[in-house]
Amino acid sequence: MEYQRLIVCHECDLLFRKPSSVKGRRAACSRCGAGMTALPGSGWPLDWICAVTLAALIVFCIAQSFPVIELRANGMTSEATLFGAVRSLWSGNMRVVAIMVFCSAVLFPLIELLALLYVLVPLRLGTLPPRFNAMVRLVQLVRPWGMVEVFMLGVLVTIVKMVSIAQVIPGPGLFATGALTLMLGVVASFDPSRLWAVRDEIGRSQMADVRWSRVSTGRGRFTRPLGARQAGSPPAITARRAGLVGCHACGLVQTPIEGEAHQRCSRCEHVLHERRPDSLTRTASLLLAAAFAYIPANLLPIMHASSVGGSEDDTILGGVAYFWTSGDWPLAVVVFVASVLVPVLKLLVLTLLTVAASRGSGWRARERATLYRIVERIGRWSMLDVFVVALTVNLVHFGSLAVITAGPAALAFGAVVVLTMLASLQFDPRLIWDNVDAGQRHTPTANDEVPAAPFPTNRIS
């Protein structure tokens, strides 16, 4: 059996027969509903992604070089840039928060764009760049932590907040950041694991002396998988039951080496594991730390304002109340959802998933898998308040007239965001389905071999 013809769902471990091409469509697992990665022909063509990535890099440089917004009050002018916001936090003894803002809004998006271009440009020329595996894995590593779209929303919230106290003038950096947000959305839709299949195509074309343009078309028919499960049929064939393991980085299905604790993928050299080691223990520890940090994040002031009329501390809930009473109830709802509801939702859902997995529960597995994907995707939006604080601190520094500094809650809230994101990354969603599969075990027969197994049918949406 050629394992290259198989693909495994990374969220429920179900095995599928890989199609020759999905022709730009989205393939989803028929059991858990997760999107299937590393499929040939999925997503945008490489030429488009390469062009959009190059354009995004140019716009990124523009967004960092010009002011995002400018504030004018009482004949005094102040402007905010992303680097200026980081510098203000650093000089205000909020260095950890400054590092969070810099990494999530500048460093990680820049690394992703540069690494993608480093890989895509040589691929379009039909050659493989040095350190290809490391660069693709680097893109996969930093992608969840880039938060330019959250920063853009933070800019909009800051503009509405400042309009009532001064004249706000949008800068060139604001429009560049908006364009960058759209471009990064297109780049984020590209699955980096596809690049390993392209690398294999280049290798085969070079061995067969075939022109690159002919190999890179990525066209072909969607091959029909083996028959779907029928009522009364044996349990679904998973990679673990078949004695196989799928690489989380490149998607290659291969046989694990017995007795080797840290086996690496034969194609991309990523560490292989049937299940993430100590997943529940790590997730529970991170959740506990996040729950402790969430208390001071809501009780302590997130900003401290000083002016000739006195001083005032502002908490997260106080900011929500300010927007609501001033008539900006849509922004009040946005801030409340991003800064209060989302962190609580993440803590509760991840706690539910961890407890259910530790107790071996098979209750509503598909619903729990959906909750996990929701939590994983919305986790970054909790950084909204941190970005608002950074921009406000950079904008309001009018000497003795008015100065705003970051409060201790900014650090606590940033810690909540990072810890909950780490917890969702450490949780292994395959544990949800292991409990379901455990209740469906049967006596193995000859039909349970991988080549003859009744694989479920992929759903294309």
Higher-pLDDT residue of 293, 163: 293
Cα distance between residue 201 and residue 86, in whole Å: 44
Output the pLDDT for position 439.
Answer: 61
**Confidence bin at 440 (pLDDT 50/70/90):** low
- Report residue 310: phi and psi, to 5°: 130, -165
Domain boundaries, the chain: 3-436
Residue pair 9/239 in contact by the 8 Å Cβ criterion: no
pLDDT band at 174 (very low <50, low <70, confident <90, very high): very high
DSSP assignment of 362-397, as one string? -TTHHHHHHHHHHHHHHGGGGGHHHHHHHHHHHH-B
Categorize the per-residue pLDDT at 374 as very low, low, confident or very high, splitting at 50, 70 and 90.
very high
* Over residues 149-171, mean pLDDT: 90
* pLDDT at 142 (0 to 100): 97
Lookup result for tokens 């300010």 = 322
207/277: higher pLDDT: 277
Q: How many Å apart are CA 139 and CA 24, to the nearest integer?
A: 21
Confidence of residue 330 (pLDDT cuts 50, 70, 90): confident
Q: Is the pLDDT of residue 376 over 70?
A: yes
Residue type, 231: A
Pairing of β 15-17 and β 402-406: unpaired
Tens of pLDDT along 58-90?
999 999 999 999 988 777 888 999 999 999 999
The alpha carbon of 419 is separated from its chain's Cα centroid by a whole number of angstroms, namely 14
Q: Which residues contact 231 (CB under 8 A, 6 or more apart)?
A: none
Going through 152-246 in order, the beta strands assigned E by DSSP cover: 167-170, 245-246
- For residue range 258-298, list pLDDT tens digits in order: 777 788 998 888 999 889 999 999 999 999 999 999 999 99
More confident residue, 232 or 96: 96
- pLDDT band at residue 422 using 50, 70 and 90 as cut-offs: very high
Q: Residue 213: its pLDDT value, please?
A: 31
- Higher pLDDT among residues 345 and 27, named by residue: 345
Nearest to 168 by CA among 70, 68, 66, 67: 70
Give, as one character, the DSSP assignment of residue 69.
E
Quote the pTM value.
0.86
Bridge partners, residue 168, by sequence: 71
* pLDDT value, residue 75: 76
Q: What is the DSSP-derived secondary structure letter of residue 145?
A: G
Q: Are 116 and 109 in contact (CB under 8 A)?
A: no
Task: For residue 289, give both structure tokens.
Answer: 């730390």
Identify the three-state secondary structure at position 231.
coil
Task: Tell me the C-alpha distance between 29 and 19, whole Å.
Answer: 13
The CB density around residue 415, as the number of other CB atoms within 10 Å, is: 20
Residue ranges of alpha helices (H) inside 43-171 are 46-65, 82-91, 95-102, 108-124, 132-142, 148-163
Mean per-residue pLDDT, 30-45: 80
Helix (H, G, I), strand (E, B) or coil at 444: coil
Mean pLDDT of the chain: 84
What is d(CA 302, CA 313) in angstroms, rounded to the nearest whole number? 8
Q: For residue 125, give the amino acid letter.
A: L
